[in-house]
Amino acid sequence: MLDYGIAGKTAIVCASSKGLGLGCAEALASVGVNLVMCARGAELLDAEAQRLRDKTGSTIKTVACDITSEDGQAAVLDAAGQVDILVNNAGGPPPGDFRDWSRDDWIKAIDANMLTAISLIKAVLDPMIERRFGRIVNITSGAVKSPISALGLSNGARAGLTGFVAGLSRDVAQHNVTINGLLPGQFNTDRIETMIENSAKAQNLSIQEMRHVIEQRNPSKRLGEIEEFGFACAWLCAAQSGYVTGQNILIDGGNFNSTL
Ligand code: NAP
C-alpha cells in the first residue's frame, strides 16, 4: 500500500465542517494525520469530526470559531500545538458589481481570503523550518487563473494571497517546507448549490436545468466531488511531495482550456 509518510503528524484544516475543507480533512485523517478542524457552527463540526475519528482512528480536535478573527486563529493554533500541515480555507466573498462594494467589503474579503492565511502561515512557518518539515496548502479558486467577473472580491483577494506565497514558497523550499495552492473549479458543495440557485433565478431556469447546463459545460460533464479534492490535498502534503512547491493546481475537470 502507498505510504504517504505523514501518519502521526498534525494538521490544521480550516473551515472544515463541510465542503472542500471537509474533503481535505477526511483525506488527511485517512492517511493517519491527526487534525484540528474548525468552523463557526459547532454541531456539524463535532458530528463530522466524530465520523472521521470512527472511520480513521486519528486524533481529531475541534474548535468552533470564526477563523478570520484573531481569537479564532489563536484558539486553533493553541489546540494544535505543533503544526506540521496547514490547510488554509474560509468562506468565499459574495458575488456582485464592484460599483456596489465599499472599502469595508474589500477589507472583509482581503481579511478572509488573504490575510487570515498569511497570519496562520506566519504563526507556523518558523517552527516548520526548524523541524525541516512543513506542508501548507491554500484552498483558493479556479478564478485565480481564469477570473469570474462577478466574483471580483474573490479574484482580487485570492490573487493577492497567490502572489505573496509565490515568493515565500521559494524562500522556504530548502527547508522541506512547501506552499501550494489548490484551485477548485466547480465542486458539489453547499456553496455551489447557492450559486446554482442564483444563476437559475437570473436565467429563468429550474435548479435542475441550471445544474445540467453547468455540468454539460464542463469537459467531464459533471461537478467535482470533495473526495477528489481531498485526495489532491493529501498528495501535496505527503512526505514525498517535498519537491512540489509554489504551484497552483487547478482541479476543474479540464474546464480551463489550455495546452499547459
Ligand atoms: P461550503 O461547502 O459552503 O463549506 C464552507 C465551510 O467553511 C463550512 O464548513 C463552513 O462552516 C466553514 N466556514 C466558512 N466561513 C468560515 C469562517 N469564517 N470561519 C470558520 N469556518 C468557516 O464551501 P466550499 O464550497 O467548500 O468552499 C470552500 C472555499 O472554496 C470557499 O472560499 C469557496 O469560495 C472556495 N471555492 C469553492 C468552489 C466550489 O466549487 N465549491 C469553487 C471555487 C472556490 P460554518 O459555516 O459553520 O463556519
Q: What would the pLDDT profile of 208-248 be if each residue is shown by its tens digit?
A: 999 999 999 999 999 999 999 999 999 999 999 999 999 99
Lowest mean pLDDT among 46-55, 101-110, 189-198, 249-258: 189-198
Task: Give the bridge partners for 10, in sequence order.
Answer: 34
Ligand 1 pocket mutation pick from 16, 24, 40, 70 by most atoms within 8 angstroms of CB = 40
At 211 the pLDDT is 96
* DSSP letter string, 144-185: GTS--GGGHHHHHHHHHHHHHHHHHHHHHGGGTEEEEEEEE-
CA distance 123 to 115: 12
**In the structure, what pLDDT confidence band is assigned to residue 2 with cuts at 50, 70 and 90?**
very high
At 125 the pLDDT is 98
The chain-wide mean pLDDT, for the chain, equals: 97
Q: Ligand 1 centre from 175 Cα, in Å?
A: 31
Which whole number is the average pLDDT over 186-192? 94
Closest alpha carbon to 13 in 224, 212, 234: 234
Ligand 1, atom 33: closest residue by C-alpha: 92
Which whole number is the average pLDDT over 9-29? 98
Ligand 1, atom 32: closest residue by C-alpha: 92
Closest alpha carbon to 239 in 9, 58, 60: 9
Which whole number is the average pLDDT over 5-21? 98
Q: How does DSSP classify residue 95?
A: P
**In the structure, what pLDDT confidence band is assigned to residue 11 with cuts at 50, 70 and 90?**
very high
Beta-strand pair 248-251/177-184: parallel
**In the structure, what pLDDT confidence band is assigned to residue 114 with cuts at 50, 70 and 90?**
very high
C-beta of 230 in contact with ligand 1 (< 6 A): no
Share of the chain above pLDDT 90, in %: 97
Residue 168, C-alpha cell as written in the block: 515565500
At 39 the pLDDT is 98
Alpha helices in 31-151 (DSSP H): 42-56, 70-80, 103-110, 116-131
Lowest mean pLDDT among 15-24, 190-199, 241-250: 190-199
Beta carbons of 24 and 258 less than 8 angstroms apart: no
Which whole number is the average pLDDT over 129-153? 96
**Between 195 and 136, whose confidence is greater?**
136
Taking only Cα atoms into account, the Rg of the chain, rounded to an integer number of angstroms, comes to: 18
Q: Ligand 1 centre from 190 Cα, in Å?
A: 8
Which whole number is the average pLDDT over 147-173? 96
Closest alpha carbon to 163 in 139, 143, 181: 181
Q: Ligand 1 centre from 154 Cα, in Å?
A: 12
CA distance 236 to 86: 11
